Every structure is written in C-alpha cells, then in structure tokens.
Amino acid sequence: MDHSAHHTDTAHEHATHETHHAPAGHAARHDGHAHGAASWGMAAKATLHCLTGCAIGEILGMVIGTALLWGNVPTMVLAISLAFLFGYSFTLFAVRRAGLDLKSAIKVALAADTVSIAVMEFVDNAIIALTPGAMDAHLSDGLFWSALLGGFGVAFLITTPVNKWMIGRGKGHAVVHAHH
C-alpha cells in the first residue's frame, strides 16, 4: 500500500495508522508491522540500523578524544553524543527522503531511536568500562578494539529483544514504518 499521502506534515503513532479507516486486512498486508507481529528479523534489522549509526559516532568520538589527548570521561561523553547524533541522523535522512518536513522528521527519529540507542550505548560503554585495561588502551591496542567490538556485539544481542518488544507495540522503529 502506498503511504506517501499519509500525514506527511506531522508524525503520527503507528497505532493510529493501524486503526484509522483502513481497508479490511490492511494490517495483515503491512509486512508484519501490526502490533504484536514484530519478527526477530525486523527487530534485528532495526537494531543493526541503530548499531551502524552508534558505531560510527562512537568510534569517531574515541578517535577524536584520543587524538586531542582528552581523558576518559570527556572522550566517552563525546563518543556517546556522536553515537546518538549519527544514530538519529540515519533515521532522520530516511524519513526526510520519504517526504517529512524537518520538524516532523526529528520527532520521528527521536521516537524511533531513543530507547534503542540508549540501551545500546549503556551496554556497550558498560562493557568497555568493566573490561580491565580497556579504558586506558590506545587506538592501536587490540584490547581497545576487542572491548569496543565485543561491546557492540553484546549490545546488539540485548537491544534486539528490546526493539522487538517496542515494534510489536507500535513504538520505536515501528514509528518509521508509518512513513514508508
């Protein structure tokens, strides 16, 4: 079904999308986006989308902080901030291409990605912080990269069920699907 004419001037909840005067069977034909129908594949795809933006931002923040000889705390603050920025930007650009105005696109990106990015960043940074020596490792050290990449892997495994639960309730990444 073509959704290009659906509410392109304001963001709306996926729940509203499913309950307005849709043709019979509309929810069933909506690629499994109906409430409670979130697949593991859909959740993994949403998590991978989030992880990509987070990884770019976090690695860039670590590189910048290290290059500027910053301490651990300011480097982590920069890395986490850039992870959120890049994570949101992937969704922002996608929904802007779908025709949303900037204000609505920002609302959709915030609704779609905030919980996913927050869980991912909490898990990833906790693993880095709890890995002995990882906080003091340099970019050229295998320990730095193994802690960072291992943290991303664990964060993916923990965030995917969170995204599945949210998508199944019309929240999180499901908000983006209302604008495709």
pLDDT tens-digit map of 82-123: 999 999 999 999 889 989 999 999 999 999 899 999 999 999
What percent of the chain is modeled with pLDDT above 70? 77
Exposure string over 25-40, b if 16+ CB within 10 A, otherwise e:
eebeebebbbbeebee
Distances (CA, A) of 79 to 17, 52, 86, 92, 167: 36, 14, 10, 19, 27
Give residue 36's pLDDT. Answer: 55
Give residue 3's pLDDT. Answer: 42
Give the range among 19-23, 34-38, 49-53 with minimum mean pLDDT: 19-23
pTM listed for this prediction: 0.76
Is the pLDDT at 8 greater than 50, yes or no? no
Q: Mean pLDDT score of the chain, rounded to an integer?
A: 81
